[in-house]
Amino acid sequence: SLSRAGGEEVSGLLLAGAAVAQLIAGMSSVPGRTFLIGRTEVTQAAWQEVTGTNPSRHVCADLPVECVSWNDCQDFLAKLNARPEAKASGLVFRLPEHEEWTYAARADGREPCADAGSWHAGNAGGETHPVARKEPNGFGLFDMRGNVQECVQDRFSARQA
């Protein structure tokens, strides 16, 4: 789970930023909940800095990483959590649970309209786009709808079977 030093539970994570320092600095509290979540999707720059690889089909540092599995995400998180910068932050990074992601994405109903707030089949041109180029939702989170598919921690839970 995502915790602060001292054991205070703050569960949840959707990573943010173009490098590890930005991942950590990009964590945002979610109003009405006790978890932090990243402001953007994980960029290819951050993925490459942590893993040394870039599996993406559309290559550019500020594009979200793509072509990764749930297991790839778990490996990324293990490597991220092992880094000195992550340890110094007092946080333990993980994917958000489905319910956490859904709550953060909906932002208490304060989502921008589809074209203003997300890349989708009607406006993306079949490409992924740089993170944070559309309007954020009411919680200040970018790209919560569209651009690339998101992974959540509990993908194997009974409620999703």
Task: Give residue-wise pLDDT tens across range 101-149.
Answer: 989 988 877 666 667 778 888 898 989 999 999 999 989 999 988 888 8
Q: What is the dihedral of CA 87, 130, 75, 104, to 10 degrees?
A: 70
- Rounded (5°) CA angle 36-37-39: 130
pLDDT tens digits along 48-87:
999 999 999 999 999 999 999 999 999 999 999 999 888 8
User: pLDDT value at position 114?
Assistant: 66
Task: Look at residue 7 and tell me whether its pLDDT is greater than 70.
Answer: no
Task: Look at residue 2 and tell me whether its pLDDT is greater than 60.
Answer: no
First CA to last CA distance, the chain: 22
- What angle, 0 to 180 degrees and rounded to 10, lies between the N-to-C axes of helices 44-51 and 70-82? 70
Kindly report the backbone phi and psi dihedral angles of residue 72, in degrees, each rounded to the nearest multiple of 5, phi listed first: -60, -40
Continuous H helices in 91-150: 98-106, 114-117
Task: Look at residue 161 and tell me whether its pLDDT is greater than 50.
Answer: no
Number of H helices and E strands in the chain, helices first, is 6, 2
* Helix, strand, coil percent content, the chain, rounded in steps of 5: 30, 5, 60
Question: What is the enclosing helix (H) or strand (E) of 82?
Answer: helix 70-82
User: pLDDT value at position 29?
Assistant: 85
